[in-house]
Amino acid sequence: MHESRNRRGTTNRAPTISATSPRLRHRREHAPTRVLVLRESHETPENVTRRLERAGGINRFGEPNYRAVWGWNRLAWIGGKFEEHDPATGSLLRKVVELRQEPKYPAVNRWHIERWVGPEAYGSPRLWYAQTIERENGISIPALGPYPSRGEYEHCFTLEGPRGEFLQLTPTAAEHIARAIEFSRHLPRSRKRSSVDDRERREDRAYDAWAYDQLDNAVPAFHKQPFVTVG
């Protein structure tokens, strides 16, 4: 099977035609080429990296506190027993116990902003393995991979529109998100709590107003009050 990568990191694969009959060979030779995009990878632009470093500073290892990553490029360890299913029928094909690197976030075709979290946030190595070791078929495997002794970058924000549409990564947007998170980090907990509570109250009032409007729609215009022309 022919596979190629372009400079942007897009992996293209030509579809395979296994049959060798002259008719199918003719079709293959004269059909327009169809390219299936299997995965698209992108490196973070240098100017975005610089702006994020300026907005969030660097950590104790001299690495930036914030970074932008493309979903397909961001891999993380997943260990344990995997069940592999036939995509067409959904039926179980096999079970395998192993440690893999797989895309960390469900939105693989989006840019994500991550923040560095220190190793202490994950507890001690002993605690990490106590919490994450899974035993399958007599094999012990760390479900989240090795202990993050240099910390780990965790998901902060997926760059997409309100309806989930793609948004391009720009230095300005990346810096704005990092500064917003830094601003959030320094807010008092009580204020954060009250803003969540306020939102719940607001949603409650929004339901009331909406319900009253709906019921108003059920009655005649002007509530059947007589009216006269003025003027």
Partner 1 sequence: MPAQANANVVALQLEKVRDKVPLLYERDDILLTMIQQRGDVEKVSSRNMRLPLQVNPGGKAGSYNADGGDLGRGSGTAYDVAQVSPIFFRFAIEITKPVEYATTGRDRAVENATKREVANGMKQFRSFLDKLMQTAGNGVLGTINSVASTTFTMTVPYGAALVYPGQTIQIYDTTLTTNRNVAAGVTTTVLTADPVTTQNITVDNVPTGTVATDVIVHDGLTGAQPVSLFGIKYHQNNATTGTWLNLNRATYPIQLQTPRVNAGNAALTPSNVRLAINKVRKSLGINHISKLIAYMAVEQEHAWENLGITVSQIIKEGGSDGNDLDLLFSGRKTMSGIPIKSSVNADQTRVDFLDLSHWGRAVLKDIDFYEVNGNTVFPIYGASGGIAASYIFYFDTAFQVWDDSPRTGAFIDTLARPSGY
Q: Which of residues 152-191 bind partner 1 (CB under 8 A)?
A: 152, 154-164, 167, 172-173, 176-177, 180-181, 183-185, 187, 189-191
- Contact call for residue 119 and partner 1 (CB under 8 A): no
Q: Which is nearer to partner 1, 20 or 217 (CB)?
A: 217
Decide if residue 63 touches partner 1 (CB under 8 A). no
Q: With respect to partner 1, which residue has the nearer C-beta, 19 or 218?
A: 218
- The helix (run of H) or strand (run of E) holding residue 181 is helix 171-185
Give the number of residues in contact with partner 1, rule: CB under 8 A. Answer: 76
Distances (CA, A) of 99 to 82, 110, 153: 9, 25, 19
Rounded CA-CA distance 117/115 in Å is 6
Interface with partner 1, residue 36, by CB under 8 A: no
* Residue 60 near partner 1 by CB under 8 A: no
What are 74's two structure tokens? 């961001």
Question: Are the C-beta atoms of 101 and 79 separated by less than 8 Å?
Answer: no
Least distance in Å: CB of 16 to partner 1?
A: 22
Give the β-pairing of 133-136 and 11-13. unpaired
- Regarding 144 and contact with partner 1 (CB under 8 A), the answer is yes
Of 7-15, 24-32, 48-56, 106-114, the window that binds partner 1 (rule: CB under 8 A) is 106-114
* Given 56, 64, 80, 151, the residue binding partner 1 (CB under 8 A): 80
Window of 10-18, 32-40, 50-58, 75-83 that interacts with partner 1 by CB under 8 A: 75-83
Give which of 141, 140, 128, 151 is closest to 78, Cα–Cα: 141
Count of beta carbons in the 10 Å neighbourhood of residue 150 = 12
d(CA 195, CA 199): 6
The residue among 3 and 83 lying less far from partner 1, judged by its C-beta, is 83
Q: Helix, strand or coil for residue 174?
A: helix
